[in-house]
């Protein structure tokens, strides 16, 4: 068993507060993607390309096709699958 002095405890608390403050700043700066391509959405949903293709064909998920690339709104996907 190790005895911790009051000064050591206060120092640990101060260090923890500083680390939490730094983490809070990092979280504030984080901005999630609003649009995903096929590969990103496959990883996000944990599905195969053929499953994604079926979801598109059955109009389950809205998408935009620009110059042969499919794009999906993260907000739309979350609304559909996270409810």
C-alpha span between 24 and 18 (Å, rounded) = 10
**Residue 79 phi, psi dihedral angles, 5° rounding:** -60, -40
* The pLDDT value given to residue 28: 76
The verdict on pTM exceeding 0.75 is no
Between 27 and 14, the more confident residue is: 14
Q: Which of 6-20, 27-41, 53-67 has the lowest mean pLDDT?
A: 27-41
Segment 40-66 shows an average pLDDT of 95
* The pLDDT value given to residue 71: 97
Per-residue model confidence as pLDDT tens digits over 39-52: 999 999 999 999 99
* The pLDDT value given to residue 10: 95
Model confidence at 31: pLDDT above 80: no
Mean of per-residue pLDDT scores for the chain: 91
């Amino acid at each position: 068993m190790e005895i911790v002095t009051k000064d050591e405890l206060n120092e640990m608390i101060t260090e923890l507060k500083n680390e939490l403050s730094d983490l809070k700043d990092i979280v504030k700066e984080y901005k999630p993607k609003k649009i995903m391509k096929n590969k990103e959405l496959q990883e996000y949903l944990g599905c195969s390309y053929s499953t994604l293709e079926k979801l598109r064909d059955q109009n389950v998920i809205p998408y935009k096709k620009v110059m042969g690339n499919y794009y999906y709104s993260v907000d739309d996907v979350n609304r559909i699958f996270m409810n």
